[in-house]
Amino acid sequence: MTLKLPLVFACSIVASSALAEPPAPDPAVPPLNPPADPAAPVTDATPVPAPDTEALPDTPVPVVTSHTTSVLLARDRPGPLSYAWYDPDLVSGIGIGFTIGGGLTGFTDRAMRDTVSSNVGGLWDARASFGTHIPLGLDVSYIGSAANINTINGNANGTLVGTTVEAALRYNILPHNTFNPYVFAGAGWQRYDVTNMRFSQSDTGVAPHDNIAEFPMGAGFGVRDLSGFDFDLRGTFRAATDSTLLQESNGSYAKLHSWEASGSVGYEF
């Protein structure tokens, strides 16, 4: 009985303190979280913009560089039977070559063959080729020729010198092969001059000079080395327009159609 009375008294004190109203705030002490002012205007919360990160003029900007190495795979190179329009093994990518050479030439018209001392004359040429390693290319050529001519009686009558400048499109049958056969056709200008002429035109029927248009066509065969050197063989027929170089006894003029068989060496890149 003695212990129960103090225990009941203590419990009643705790219960009364828990149910009691909280004490009034002290005006002298500021609250930790002041209440919002009901009269203050309500505004939307907007995010604060991030500070400007643009570099100042004198501030060095780090540059990130990447180093890549291109690797040419074997499948990127055209095969020997390919008709690709680009060859990465060449500096030009298409094949540009320069050749010089010589060979034989002659006329197909009997009257002209009877006028020159030999049915076969000498020929020399220089050629620039563009597109030797693609299906379609272009040849620009200079051709020179020389042949001794005679009168009807067989007397020497000087030298017939021919000068030709022509351009021809060429179709490369195997443009990426070591052995490349091709065909070509084009047009050009041809001039003939008789040097050291001893007899007049009225006596021989041979004019001192003549200019004509000519149209080359033919086929060739090129052999190429990996170093860039190449060897070329070709046969050409040149159809010529009407000429006044040689007047025959019946009053008509001889045709200046001609043929060529030549070889040349050069370099391509």
The tens-digit pLDDT sequence of the chain (269 residues) is 454 555 545 555 545 554 555 555 556 655 555 555 555 555 554 555 555 545 445 555 555 555 554 444 445 778 888 899 998 989 999 999 999 999 999 999 999 998 898 889 999 999 999 999 999 999 999 999 999 988 777 778 899 999 999 999 999 999 999 999 999 999 999 999 999 888 877 777 889 999 999 999 999 999 998 889 999 999 999 999 999 999 988 889 999 999 999 999 999 99
Contact 163, 144 (CB under 8 A): yes
Nearest Cα neighbor of 230 from 261, 262, 268 is: 268
Single pTM value for the model? 0.69
Hey, what amino acid is at 66? S
Nearest Cα neighbor of 253 from 206, 195, 202, 203 is: 206
**Residue 28, burial from CB neighbour count under 10 angstroms (0-12, 13-18, 19+):** exposed
Question: CA 158 to CA 24: how far, in whole Å?
Answer: 141
Question: CA 109 to CA 164: how far, in whole Å?
Answer: 19
